[in-house]
Amino acid sequence: MRGPHNIWRLIRTGATLERAGAMNVVLDAFDASPPLRFVARALGLPFKWLGYKGDPNMPPATRALTALGPAYIKFGQVLSTRPDVVGDDLAVQLRVLQDKLPPFETALARRAVEQELGEPVNAIFSEFSEPVAAASIAQVHHARLAETGEEVAVKVLRPGIEKAFRKDIDAFYLAARMAEIFSPGSRRLRPMDVIEHFDGVVRGELDLRLESSAASEFAANTKDDPGFQLPEIKWNYSGRRVMTLGWADGLPLGDNAALDAAGHDRVALSERVLQLFLQHALRDGYFHADMHQGNLKVAANGDIIAYDFGIMGHIDSYTRRVYAEILYGFIRRDYMRVAKVHFEAGYVPADKDVDEFARALRAVGEPIFGMDATRISMARLLTYLFEVTERFGMETRTELILLQRTMVVVEGVARSLNPHINIWEVASPIVTDYITKSLGPRAIVSDLRDTAMVMARFGPRLPGLVEQALNRQAEEQPERRPRFWRYIAATAVMSGIAGATTIALIGALL
């Protein structure tokens, strides 16, 4: 599918970018080399008349992507999470990309529900509205369950969307390969990895069972978080192309006038939305990666309600500790510690100078901490930090870029509610608490317990592993077999003693 026949799709894409005046914007954002610029213009300029016109009232890039259709709109949204790839200016443009398309017919949605759930719509829902929201991949209907009378939202995939996305993504892979060939400098940005990341995001959104699963996992992690709600997934009424969940009833988080009229405390809401995000990212390593005002509401009791779980972020436990230590080091203005954390984690090549790196980090942190407290921006700090690490050879890490992008969005939401919020003051208790729990004595005990459980799990396999190793050794170096036997025996004994000691120690401490 990723062969030369996709060139026609690239020609149509180039023609549309040219017609919308977006070609130079895109090439400049990617810092394209002269050969790549030549190829791109050759694919687009002669065929400009074939390009889609788009909405002339939109900025060039958003105009072109909107005209090209759902896959390009979604690609633009995902690229907005990668300022390291497209630059800050284009990322801002893409972040406001309108993910709104004309809805498809309600009759088609009802038919999709019946095919997916195996029952007539009227037997499942006593009410089923016209579309209340239509996006690039799916649209949403307001409905009421016939069995319980509960209000629900029913999300239905667009007809034929899977096939349409598959065709366009194949063309994206070809474009990424061409970028790597004609612009060697772009390889640092790993274009193929960017497309693979996008492909994974889209595959997740094209199977609504995966989004339902993400929402369910997120709900399990956050069920005890005060002041936070998630709509409940209705698994009996959900499938691959249909997702049903509780109706999120509340005021939009971005409507300050309505929030004030309802008597909600916007200062408390601003602090809560920021602390909730940090808790989810650090404590759980699983966070809502699209926390803009359009996906957040405020319930009548003041709780924040989050919905739309198509883009979720995941960070492993080790990366969470690294991230927390970096933030904590900046809070304490301990730049040498921040530098060492980057080297210890392998983010910066070992052949670089740690002292020089620490001085570069000081140049990042000190101007920010010299600002008035209400102007201190964690998002700006992370942006500057990635600029410095790029200069020192740090490779792109998708999970950290997604975290940074979400931090930018969440900070923007918090400041829109309370322009005078002190971001660091609000974040400090969450980060400090995580550092205490993840790097203190309790964390050591937890790590020992996990290690002991892994050793216990591999215990029954030890004889077989030893036998395999011995057979390989005997075949490769027969003369060393007796010595190797003694080594294996000693290692097994010591491993057993170490495992027993670890388990006993954990038992005593717990």
Is residue 245 within 8 A of residue 233, CB to CB? The reply is yes
Would you give the DSSP letter of residue 101?
Answer: -
Is residue 138 within 8 A of residue 104, CB to CB? The reply is no
Please give the Cα distance from 205 to 240 (Å, whole number).
Answer: 10
Please give the Cα distance from 86 to 79 (Å, whole number).
Answer: 7
Encoding tokens for residue 332? 């304490």
Q: 151-157 and 138-145: which strand pairing?
A: antiparallel
Please give the Cα distance from 145 to 133 (Å, whole number).
Answer: 19
- In one letter, which amino acid is 11? I
Burial of 174: CB neighbours in 10 Å, binned 0-12, 13-18, 19+: buried
Residue 71, C-beta contacts closer than 8 angstroms, at least 6 positions apart = 136, 164, 165, 168, 169, 172, 202
Of 259, 262, 164, 155, the C-alpha closest to 209 is 155
Is residue 252 within 8 A of residue 258, CB to CB? The reply is yes
Would you give the DSSP letter of residue 233?
Answer: B
- In one letter, which amino acid is 289? A
Please give the Cα distance from 71 to 66 (Å, whole number).
Answer: 9
Of 384, 386, 355, the C-alpha closest to 367 is 384
* Catalytic residue list contains 290: yes
Catalytic position from the list 84, 168, 225, 290: 290
Q: Looking at the annotation, which residues are catalytic?
A: 290
